[in-house]
Chain A
Amino acid sequence: MISSLVLSLKVLAVDVPLLLVIGTSLGWLLARRNFRGKEALSLLILLPVVLPPSVLGLYLLMLLGHVPLMRELGLLFSFPAAAMAPLFPSLPIMVQSARSGFASVDVGLEDAARTLGDGELAVFWRVSFPIAKRFLMAGLALASARALGDFGVTLMIAGNIPGRTQTLPLYIYSRVEALDFAGANMAAILLTGVGVMSLWLVRRMEGVHGGAS
């Protein structure tokens, strides 16, 4: 179990920064900019929410296994695949939170910053980001929990190789298969704990506490 736990933590270490950066950028783009294909992009990002993980995993398997250049990278059934897989189902959660976070920032505040000498980058870092931060953090907590718990997509493209791609959810599955319920329970309690903690974090972020509005 320790090796699975370490692996899951490694996956999180890769995914959390990626979720934050990619999710925040996409959320900002969807909330603040108008461009061609914006609707299509937003639907594409949401697609993993409605697709069964096995379907999503299958498509990714084909993409990484059959498309020439992708195939040569040899990502399948390795740690990079295990790290990448949870991104797909969890990114939509982060993007949605970031989008509604940035949409909630009064455009007048950003205009005020502009008249006070800020360029677009400074407006983002000094006004939009700090005000939307609660949404971003709440989104990040939910998305990270989802990433940590990913089962289907990981199984499809990374497999279930102990020590290499067997993350905690896959470990639980293997233990149950081996009728080792005690081991499965240990890991399950751990994941439940993380899930409850992330919900508590979201509550705190969304709560009245601080209420700067």
Chain B
Amino acid sequence: MEERLDVRFLKKLGSFRLDVALTLGTEIGVIFGPSGAGKSQTLRVLVGLSKPDEGYIKLNGRVLADASKKVSVPPKDRRIGLVFQELSLFPHLTALENVAYGLKCGDRLEVAAEWLHMVRLDGLSDRYPHQLSGGQRQRVALARALAPGPDLLLLDEPFNALDGPVRRALRRELKDLFNETKTPIIYVTHDIEDVCSMADRVFFIRDGELAASIPVQSLWDPSVQGSIWHSLGWGTLVHGTVEERSGLCWIVWDGGRLALPPTVRVKGDVTAFVAPHHVKLLYHDLPVDLELEDNVMEGVVAERVVLGGTTRLFVRACNLQWQVEFLNGSYVTMELSEGQRVRMAVKPGCIYILGSAPNSCPLDPCTETQFEQERSAPFPALDEKGEMAYEGEDLDHRGSLGASSLARSHTDRR
């Protein structure tokens, strides 16, 4: 595939080193890794809000930054769109004006209105950001970044604060937009579900080092995936056998077993992935959630690491070392020093079986994690009707309709 983005740079931030090498064609790349690994910083350097100390950034053959020649094109001339994690919609502008912000042509408001139509926000163009729901704000931010026709679109954990259905709908929408605009996309996430549902190519980032780049298909190739996941060094891998007992599916290994969600179809030897923030610690004196009842494990804290705003525990339990991650300030009443005995549990829905078909998540996504609940800002329940209709059958209809109008607006502007 033709190479459009070619990046190699080093950025020092205090004692933290960000070392990035990646290339991307006309495809969706996902940067995947734990919080604090340097994902957002990578995007800031790409878009020009932060200058690399060494190395270069090239987009479509254009040099955007070259530290050795002291070249750094300012963000305004890079033609890179960025959807910020906090969205950063302009509070003093309406949805329409937000989308039109980056447009310089004479008919900017008409073009912006077309974009609002594309992201299904007709009729909401006069609303201010605080009058929109979370999902609607996401779509305004997406349209705003895409409207000026960027050469590259970057998204920083854009769907983090949203709940399951809206999230899935927006992912589909983003894929549709990619298919229509053919703008390469880099999408940053720490959610495995985003990787399998969106990406053509995955970049793993860990402790500031981004090097491994894997087409998503081979991510699910059993012959290589083990080493990839190990090299990521994040989350817990469980090698076991899927068995059916007392009407439930279980993954069984030497030392323990966990209940799987009823949707699991695979049989035999598998590898499962459990993200650190999906392992929940349990209070000794409180009753266990019914959903977690089958999947309670007892273990001993082997190590405790505090990274930025999160705490990561390494817990030995059931013959495995589990990574448990939570926001600092959770579980403050619990004694969690090294050597301490703890009880913990994993929701069946949060266990991902690796090695199934490419580009599809085998399990129902685990949406209501504690992690997300703590992060998500409550958004006003305005127009939730529109949100639901969006899940419906007219999605495909919209896709084809949008394509033609978009193609037109693109040619108009150039």
Contact = CB atoms under 8 A, between A and B. Distances in A.
A118 B91 CA distance: 17
Given A116-B102, A119-B76, A131-B91, A111 B84 contact: yes
Contact of B47 (A106, A113, A115, A118): A115
Contacts of B80: 115
A213 B91 contact: yes
Interface string A1-40: 0000000000000000000000000000000000000000
A114 B75 contact: yes
Interface in B67-105: 74-78, 80-82, 84, 86, 88, 90-92, 101-102, 104
A117 B88 contact: no
Given A111-B49, A117-B104, A117-B148, A212 B91 contact: yes
A122 to B, nearest CB: 8
B91 A114 contact: no
Contact of B148 (A113, A116, A127): A116
Contacts of B81: 115-116
B92 A130 contact: yes
A32 B349 CA distance: 47
B201 interface: no
Interface residues of B, number: 25
Contacts of B102: 116-117
B102 to A, nearest CB: 3
B74 A114 contact: yes
B178 interface: no
A129 to B, nearest CB: 10
Contact of B82 (A106, A109, A115, A130): A115
Contacts, number: 61
B265 to A, nearest CB: 43
A108 interface: yes
B273 interface: no
B12 interface: no
A212 B98 CA distance: 14
A119 B145 CA distance: 17
B interface majority secondary structure: loop
Contact of A211 (B74, B75, B76, B130): B130
A112 interface: yes
Contacts of A213: 91, 130
Contact of A117 (B76, B84, B86): B76
B144 interface: yes
Contacts of A130: 92
Contact of A212 (B82, B88, B104, B130): B130
A127 B102 CA distance: 12
Interface string A196-213: 000000000000000111
B130 A118 contact: no
A111 B89 CA distance: 11
Contact of A108 (B76, B84, B128, B148): B84
A8 B128 CA distance: 41
Interface string A143-176: 0000000000000000000000000000000000
A115 B102 CA distance: 8
Interface of A: 106, 108-109, 111-119, 126-127, 130-131, 211-213
Interface of B: 47-49, 74-78, 80-82, 84, 86, 88, 90-92, 101-102, 104, 128, 130, 144-145, 148
Sort A-B residue pairs by CB-CB distance and give the 6 closest, nearest first. A116-B102, A112-B88, A114-B75, A108-B88, A212-B91, A115-B82
Given A108-B88, A131-B90, 11 more contacts: A112-B88, A114-B49, A115-B47, A117-B76, A117-B148, A119-B76, A126-B101, A131-B92, A211-B130, A212-B91, A213-B91
6 contacts: A106-B86, A108-B88, A113-B101, A114-B49, A115-B49, A117-B104
